Amino acid sequence: MPAHKPPETGLGVDVGGTRIRIARISREGEILSRIIEPVQASRDEFPAQLLRLIEQMRGPEDAAIGVGIPGRVLGQTGEIVSAGYLDIAGFDLVGLVSRKTGLPVRIENDAMMALIAELNCRSKFRDKLVMMVTVGTGVGGAALQDGRPWYGGGHAGQFGHIVVADDGPRCNCGRTGCVETLSSGTALRRLILQTELPEETRTEDLFSLAEKSDAVAQAVLRAWSQPMQRALETLVSVADPDLILVGGGLGRDMVQALNTLETRSPWFPVPFEAASLGDDAGVIGAGLHALAHKDGRLAETA
Ligand SMILES: [Zn+2]
């Protein structure tokens, strides 16, 4: 009798602002085991940490590896163009990890991995155009068309750099007024510090004050969410997605704030909702995407 072979699983890695997560993911998108630790961001330490974690976690059933990183990744090749606070731009991470492990490796922007996981829970959107905007330290983005990453010419999905104000703050990209500079977590912190509100004011404090008609809290929430509303309307005017998920650490708060804004034009109704998987989305999507890549299901975009 042939020995029972366990079903194949994918190893998903998600590199966040402060922590790196690695998890074994089933084909259904369940987390079977995981390790979370502080991320080491330097060019020498990060690859070594990644390889050590893969070694620690790897089991015989793991058939592929997916890694989601912040920054700009050329989707088709996994080339890292810039990686935010991670000092690995230009580093051949796909080559390194596949050489060391002998497994197929797929690297994507972290928002893309999170979106893949979210779509896995929303089967009715599998043959649609679905976008994601992540709100955390910065603002990230990704799009899937018919369940496949939509890269455009290679770098599509930089939704944090939709310009929404001519006179806005200077952005890392060199321009001014990108939505990332006005609707990120960093921007919310700056808005709070510009008021008389206590420095430690949290989003739930703002919402509860705003509910009691506190004009300052209402103004902060409006100043934070209105630029995002404009950016989402722009996405609708350009690509008319069937769904825009708002995720990242502040995704739910952003949705709550957006829901208080009046629609500015009937031309661009935004079909947005909060992402539902929270911090787990990145590793789940990375594991699922790695398995899809290994199966050849991404062949048309690879
Ligand atoms: Zn920018």
> Percent of the chain at pLDDT above 70?
98
Distances (CA, A) of 11 to 29, 203, 285: 11, 34, 10
- Distance between CA atoms of residues 199 and 216, nearest Å: 14
- Distance between CA atoms of residues 104 and 66, nearest Å: 9
pLDDT at position 2, please?
58
252 Cα to the center of ligand 1, angstroms? 23
161 Cα to the center of ligand 1, angstroms? 4
174 Cα to the center of ligand 1, angstroms? 6
Structural domains in the chain plus CATH codes? 9-115+279-295 (3.30.420.40), 123-275 (3.30.420.40)
45 Cα to the center of ligand 1, angstroms? 28
175 Cα to the center of ligand 1, angstroms? 6
> pLDDT digit string (tens) for 250-282?
999 999 999 999 988 899 999 999 999 998 999
137 Cα to the center of ligand 1, angstroms? 14
> pLDDT digit string (tens) for 97-107?
999 999 999 99
Would you say 140 and 285 are in contact if contact means Cβ atoms under 8 Å apart?
no
Instruction: Reply yes or no on whether the pLDDT at 80 is more than 90.
Output: no
199 Cα to the center of ligand 1, angstroms? 26
> Percent of the chain at pLDDT above 90?
79
Enter the pTM of the model. Answer: 0.93
> pLDDT digit string (tens) for 149-184?
999 888 889 999 999 998 999 998 899 999 999 999
Instruction: Reply yes or no on whether the pLDDT at 1 is more than 60.
Output: no
pLDDT at position 84, please?
73
Residues 6+ apart with CB under 8 A from 8: 27, 61, 62, 63, 64, 291
139 Cα to the center of ligand 1, angstroms? 10
165 Cα to the center of ligand 1, angstroms? 11
